[in-house]
Amino acid sequence: MSRLPDDRNSELRELFFESANELLQSLNEAGLQLEANPADEETLRRVRRVVHTLKGDSAACGFQKLSELAHQLEDVLTPQVGRKRGAKLAELVLAVADSFAAMLSAYQCDTKLPSTNSVRAAIRSLLKGRGAAERPETSNEPAAKSTKPPAAVAAPAFAARFEWTEYEQLMISEAFHRGEIVYNVALRVDPKSPMHAAAFQLIRNVLHGCGTVIALRPEDNSAAASVEVVEAALASKHTQDHIAQRCRIPSIVSDVRVERTLTHETPEHELLGDLLEAQAAQVASSTAGEQAAPKASAPGSAAATIAESSLRVDAARIDAVMNLVGELIIGKSMLNRTLTEFDRRHAHDPLRAKLSDALAFQSRVLDELHKCVLKIRMVPVEQLFRRFPRVVRDVAKQCGKDVALELSGENTDLDKSILDALSEPLMHLVRNSIDHGVEHAEERLAAGKPARGTVYLNAYHQGTQVVIEVRDDGRGIDLTQVRKQAVQKGILKAEEAQRLSEAETLNLIFEPGFSTAAEITEVSGRGVGMDVVRTVMDRLKGTVQISSAKGRGTTIQLRAPLTLASIQTLLFRVSGRLFAVPISSVVEIARVTDEEIHLVDQREVLRLREQILTLVRLNRLSQIHAVEAPADQKKKRSFVVVIGAAEKRFGLVVDSLVGEEELVIKALPSEIVSSDLVSGASILGDGTVVLILNVPAVLSRLSRTTPLGAIA
């Protein structure tokens, strides 16, 4: 067989890893359903379909160890095991899913494969249990469950298993559909035979003379010397007695057992039919230019239609298109400025109206193009949420708690890059909700709550942001304990801790190294998780809001922009330099005089409608250097842009406002901008570079240099 070229083989493996992750997610979901309802044969078929696909795909890519483990797991995925030992089977499926994930990671990173001895031992244990469970059933009700009823003629009493592979069972089922009769034939080799080495070949020749051999055990001559019983599945037009008579080879075969298999389809046959239909749907979707015969009732037709309407595209290609659209937006801005200049110089030129109409048309088309590209990057948050039922189940089990998960808002869309970045923060929040928030069953019952705790995940749009909410009905956060831990860890002094408001106290849990856990466990206690949440949200130019009621639970909201590609901004100037802030962060704009600005604790503040607002001058923040205007040119009146970030408010003192504009964000390399106060830059139509402020970073810097009580 010819080998694939290296580049083609590499592409095949990349596709495998991508599809394998989706298969693993499906396996986890099906495993959880199987745990909830072990006797559900439809769920068991779904597990087998996933495992079967993973087995075949991994074998095609040369990942033999993974394929072998999947093959072993298939042996126990039967309705009999599900009914007899359903809880153990579900536990095994989830454990094997973890092993699959670890093996995929090792294959992808080209590292040593993890040990799978424990799951293989669990599979062997279930296989032994299956044999013990099936023997009484076979003796009591042979016709109800077995594919091998007793023969019409007396059958010799020797062991015959007739355990065929899925492919062989599929061939047997296909023979039934063609109207053929299929027999299970077992022949015991005479131990006193002088031709023991040649016995297997002679038996095989006789079987082929009786009909079509669908399956044979052993499959080749390698085990001929030690074979005691030869088993075969035989499709034949001959009678049962005729086959038994032909198979009695003198001095070779001592006993013969012939059984006619049942003609009705077992659940295994139904599964194999499903596999065949799924494979046919895959082939149909990958065949270009061929028109399939219309079959409205075909089970695979819907799947094929969905597959044909979907197209898998590398994210880098979409990013390249987005960058080009960004350049077009900059070009549109340049044309607008040019048209404005043209209006000023040639106000009565008839060409002006034509240029204006052409630019308006171009702007409409460009806006639609921009929206379309953004929609391509948008994915439903359900892709992220579907990972958490397994996380909740595992963490709750590890903590010895009974916790349910409720999901809502799964159809909320947001940018794929933001979705991927939110995975880690959400993981920490959910784990903390279970470990710190939800109480044990005894404590909940004593408090008049249901024994089972609940963690809620919700997502929804709010303006230009997406809000992802993690809520639990647990014990809530003890503010006294938080202040005490903050003082013990040296984050605050005791007198400062007493002055903190409730919101400021809750925000202490995001400090590095902070934890209220009494001891460090595998789940939490190291004070790392919540710090990761804030760090990631700052990087996404998002915010975190937390609220808690003692005895009722805690709610944490992650607010992130819908996309990082472009944003609506407010442009302003400070000391001759142009800056921008996201318009979603602007609460209001006020104009003040120098006399209205006061000093409190060496900080400038403004009284705005009975509220004290801390003021920030960008040229006085470290790492942002602006050219100071001469003292005689300083204005007596300034604009104050009130910025809102979570529950905090502060005012930016600016010299002049330029207006609103949509900016395409360009990331700046660290060697050009070393300040975390700037999240990116953009280029205006006239070539001017504008810096985009990182509002959460400015607020963080302000909080570290200002008494927290001074921030409105």
Give 407's strand partners: 457
Higher pLDDT, 399 or 15: 399
Q: How many CB atoms lie within 10 A of CB 29?
A: 19
* Confidence tier at 41 by pLDDT (50, 70, 90): confident
- The tens digit of pLDDT for each residue in 178-232 reads 778 899 999 888 877 766 667 787 888 888 888 888 888 887 666 666 778 888 9
CATH number of 381-561: 3.30.565.10
CA distance 161 to 282: 34
Higher pLDDT, 152 or 329: 329
Contact between residue 656 and residue 573 where contact means Cβ atoms under 8 Å apart: yes
* Confidence tier at 278 by pLDDT (50, 70, 90): low
Contact between residue 640 and residue 651 where contact means Cβ atoms under 8 Å apart: yes
- Predicted confidence (pLDDT) at residue 519 exceeds the cutoff of 70: no
Mean pLDDT of 590-604: 83
- The tens digit of pLDDT for each residue in 134-177 reads 444 433 333 333 344 444 344 445 677 788 877 777 788 878 87
DSSP 524: S
Chain-centroid distance of CA 375 in Å reads 19
CA distance 274 to 53: 12
- The tens digit of pLDDT for each residue in 367-416 reads 888 888 878 888 889 888 988 888 898 888 888 899 999 999 989 888 88
Contact between residue 584 and residue 663 where contact means Cβ atoms under 8 Å apart: no
Rounded to the nearest integer, the mean pLDDT of the chain is 77
CA distance 263 to 247: 23
**H/E element holding 444?**
helix 441-446
CA distance 613 to 149: 86
Burial classification of residue 157, based on how many CB atoms lie within 10 Å of its CB (0-12 exposed, 13-18 middle, 19 or more buried): exposed
Instruction: Tell me whether strands 611-616 and 637-645 are parallel, antiparallel or unpaired.
Output: unpaired
DSSP 48: H
Highest mean pLDDT among 129-138, 415-424, 691-700, 703-712: 415-424
Give 546's strand partners: 556
- Residue where the block lists tokens 């009565």: 348
Under 8 Å CB-to-CB from 102, ≥6 apart: which residues?
114
The class that CATH gives domain 145-267 is: alpha beta
- The tens digit of pLDDT for each residue in 557-570 reads 998 877 766 778 89
Count how many residues are written for the chain: 712
Listed in order, strand segments (DSSP E) in 533-618 are: 543-549, 553-561, 566-574, 577-582, 586-593, 597-600, 603-608, 611-616
User: Among 61-70, 454-463, 628-637, which is the least confidently predicted range?
Assistant: 628-637
Q: First-to-last CA distance in the chain?
A: 73
Mean pLDDT of 65-90: 82
Bond prior to 218 in cis (omega within 30° of 0): yes
Mean pLDDT of 667-684: 68
6-140 fold: Four Helix Bundle (Hemerythrin (Met), subunit A) (1.20.120)
Mean pLDDT of 26-52: 84
The domain segmentation of the chain, as residue ranges, is 6-140, 145-267, 315-379, 381-561, 566-710
Mean pLDDT of 519-531: 58
Best CA proximity match to 230, nearest among 267, 187, 192: 187
| pLDDT on residue 407 | 92
- Residue where the block lists tokens 């670890």: 102
Q: Which CATH superfamily is domain 566-710 in?
A: CheA-289, Domain 4 (2.40.50.180)
| pLDDT on residue 457 | 93
CA distance 363 to 354: 14
- Residue where the block lists tokens 């110089």: 345
CA distances 556 to 1, 30, 500, Å, are 57, 29, 19
Give 611's strand partners: 608
Best CA proximity match to 26, nearest among 3, 12, 43: 43
CA distances 682 to 280, 459, 565, 575, 693, Å, are 50, 30, 11, 19, 11
**H/E element holding 664?**
strand 656-664
Buried b (16+ CB within 10 A) or exposed e, 618-649: beebeebebeeeeeeeeeeebbbbbbbbbbbb
